[in-house]
Amino acid sequence: MLIVSDVHGAFDALAEVAASGEVLLILGDLLNLVDYRTGEGMTAEVLGIDFARETAKARAAGDYALMRRLWREKVADRIEETAEAFEAAARRQYQEVAEALGDCPAYVTYGNVDRPHLLRELLPPTARFVDGEVVEIEGFRIGFVGGGISTPLGAAGEVSDRDMEAKLAGLGKVDVLCSHLPPAVPPLHRDVVTGRLERASRPILDYLLDTQPRYHFFGDVHQPQALCWRVGRTRCRNVGYFRATKRPVRFP
């Protein structure tokens, strides 16, 4: 099987991977909200490239207060209109995801920039939305937990630590854990470009320490200090940043 994460709009490359016909696991962040390198994405489409680049700069610095202020000033009294425009843009991108996947057998969970309700609705028939559940694939018990860390932005794809703990507890023991978020192991969530620790999940780390699955695959951090790490007997592997690499990770 093949595994990718952080597609962020690279749907042509996704189509090439899907064309292999192999089982494909997608670990979230299919939408391209904003490319922090170029400013491209849904934010630029709806609110303009200059605004997208300005907010991307604030996000890269971890300045959520500035991000909220910029959004309030830009959107002003057009909250409903703006929300509808983003929903329409997300729908268009997920339709592109469906076209890219075609009839590829796929299992898809969501990341922090995704909109789970739309993703679930718009996947093609041969793709299955998975979250907080275990699926047996090629003889492996694989558990999926989607979502990103809860932030002051309150995005649709964010999950509280309490909810993540509940999802993980419901899995029981698995051979492979698939999540969008990395565990809270500093080398796995330190971004070498931004120079700071990105979001990571303590509940996921606790689950690995408690249950010791053989493998843990995840994404979210685009330029990690370490791609691979061991937590006890669990081999952890970052399988992103697909938008940049265009390459899946093969398992086993």
Average pLDDT over residues 126-131: 98
| Structural domain includes residue 159 | yes
pLDDT value, residue 234: 98
Selected residue with higher pLDDT from 35 and 225: 225
How many Cα atoms sit within 13 Å of 79 on the Cβ side?
3
| Structural domain includes residue 42 | no
Find the domain containing 187 and state its range.
2-31+104-250
The lowest-confidence range among 23-27, 43-47, 243-247 is 43-47
Average pLDDT over residues 97-106: 98
52 to each of 97, 115, 123, 180, how far by Cα in Å?
23, 19, 27, 24
Question: How are beta strands 140-145 and 2-4 bridged, if at all?
Answer: unpaired
pLDDT digits (tens, 9 = 90+) for 136-170: 999 999 999 999 998 877 789 999 999 999 999 99
Number of domains the chain contains: 1
| Structural domain includes residue 77 | no
pLDDT digits (tens, 9 = 90+) for 202-221: 999 999 999 999 999 999 99
pLDDT grade for 93, boundaries at 50, 70 and 90: very high
Question: How are beta strands 176-179 and 215-218 bridged, if at all?
Answer: parallel
pLDDT value, residue 151: 82
**227: its two tokens:** 């791609």
| Structural domain includes residue 80 | no
| Structural domain includes residue 90 | no
| Structural domain includes residue 56 | no
Is residue 189 over pLDDT 80?
A: yes
Q: What is the CATH number of the domain that holds 162?
A: 3.60.21.10
pLDDT digits (tens, 9 = 90+) for 49-87: 998 898 888 877 778 788 888 888 888 889 899 989 999
pLDDT grade for 37, boundaries at 50, 70 and 90: confident
What is the rounded average pLDDT for all residues in the chain? 94
The lowest-confidence range among 25-29, 43-47, 167-171 is 43-47
Tell me the pTM. 0.94
Cβ atoms within 10 Å, residue 108: 24
Is residue 186 over pLDDT 80?
A: yes
Hey, is 5 helix, strand or coil? coil
| Structural domain includes residue 70 | no
The lowest-confidence range among 43-52, 61-70, 102-111 is 61-70
| Structural domain includes residue 87 | no
pLDDT value, residue 107: 98
